[in-house]
Structure 1
């Protein structure tokens, strides 16, 4: 659950000014396959965040393991946050629900997939 919480926290708080650090942290917590997906989208995401002057904050409010098998787990994470950009006058509230698929690699749990869910 801790690995999922860290990854979601990093994702929902990604901002234009800190996108390099945010993305490096997200990549560090990802399996090779998911890392490749993130890397493929990283440059476009960085540019969009900076161009739109995005500032995001967020906190995980709850998380729970819904599936646990040998070396694999699925965690549902609920989070709240705010987002501002060059088109907003004030911070807009956000609510997030994510399904995080994890895979154990050595002594770490890494994110193998992440999906926003309703």
Structure 2
């Protein structure tokens, strides 16, 4: 089992079915049956997917009478966002440096047209 929380989250979201479930839960809480509806899989398979999401801290389950809604724990996305943002800022800094280098280069004249009778 992966120990650090960020790795567990990314690992859980590596599966497209789980990403779809998370997208559905972003709309609001849902039961296992409601989450299973769009997929051609058993309720047991959906429960296994939910267990992975729960172990990663992405979802939690509660009890509402006979209903057991699954709830998206959106705070976990802050962890992902901070990690992604750090690397986005680094990439933007590299692009700014590249822009500076390109601006400092002398402009070249347009290449001459191809000789007549040849394909372009």
Instruction: Indicate the TM-score class for this superposition, using the shorter chain for normalisation.
Output: under 0.3
| Larger RCO (CA within 8 A; separation ≥ 6) | 1
TM-score by length of 1: 0.26
TM-score by length of 2: 0.26
* Larger proportion of strand: 1
Larger radius of gyration: 2
* Larger proportion of helix: 2
